[in-house]
């Protein structure tokens, strides 16, 4: 991967987030940019029913946790000023997961950010969809859940 903030966040997701929050994680997909996949488990992606068209819509990292009785598919968007898990992105990613046979409760949507104090991180966090999560590499043991309050 090329050096820079996005690569630093991606590295932290794979090396810190995944083993901290997932029981038996596997990296299914990791890309540096929309045009350059760095790691890709093609057979696993196909076996799960993810089509090449869906692959273009995937976020920077897709993790798979085989530890739970019902495996968990984790979409991780490396959040900079433009990439967050907003309502539109949530709908698109859940549709991809459903087409691959995953129920909504077996899908996690995570925005990974380098630092809560970083420029634009507040703007990105403000656009996160309900039901998604935010993870800050600078606070590796914490996961922020965006849960709507129901009356």
**Residue extents of the structural domains in the chain:** 5-145
Pair type for strands 25-33 and 61-65 = antiparallel
Confidence (pLDDT) at 17 = 97
Residue 110: phi and psi, rounded to 5, are -125, 135
- Per-residue pLDDT, 52: 60
The predicted pLDDT at position 24 comes to 95
Which residue, among 30, 47, 31, 32, has the nearest Cα to 2 in the 3D structure? 32
The pLDDT assigned to 18 comes to 97
pLDDT digits (tens, 9 = 90+) for 83-134: 677 888 889 899 988 988 899 999 999 999 888 776 555 555 556 777 889 9
- β-strand partners of 135: 112
Q: Chain-wide mean pLDDT for the chain?
A: 80
Q: Is the pTM of this model over 0.85?
A: no
> Taking the mean position of all CA atoms in its chain, how far away is CA 60?
7
How far the first Cα of the chain sits from its last, in Å, is 46
What is 5-145's CATH number, 3.90.400.10, 1.20.58.1030, 3.30.379.10, 3.40.1350.80?
A: 3.40.1350.80
Residue 141 has pLDDT above 80, yes or no: yes
pLDDT of residue 124: 54
- pLDDT of 51 strictly over 80: no
Confidence band, pLDDT 50/70/90 cuts, at residue 29 = confident
The pLDDT assigned to 110 comes to: 93
């Amino acid at each position: 991967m090329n050096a820079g903030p996005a690569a630093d966040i991606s590295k932290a997701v794979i090396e810190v987030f995944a083993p901290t929050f997932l029981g038996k994680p596997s990296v299914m997909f990791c890309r540096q940019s929309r045009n350059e996949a760095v790691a890709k488990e093609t057979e696993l992606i196909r076996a799960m029913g993810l089509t090449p068209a869906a692959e273009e819509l995937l976020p920077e990292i897709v993790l798979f946790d085989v530890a739970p009785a019902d495996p968990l598919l984790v979409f991780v968007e490396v959040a900079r000023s433009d990439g967050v898990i907003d309502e539109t992105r949530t709908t698109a990613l859940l549709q991809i997961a459903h087409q691959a046979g995953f129920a909504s409760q077996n899908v996690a949507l995570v925005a990974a950010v380098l630092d809560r104090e970083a420029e634009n991180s507040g703007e990105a966090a403000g656009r996160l969809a309900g039901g998604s999560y935010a993870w800050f590499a600078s606070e590796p043991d914490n996961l922020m859940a965006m849960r709507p309050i129901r009356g």
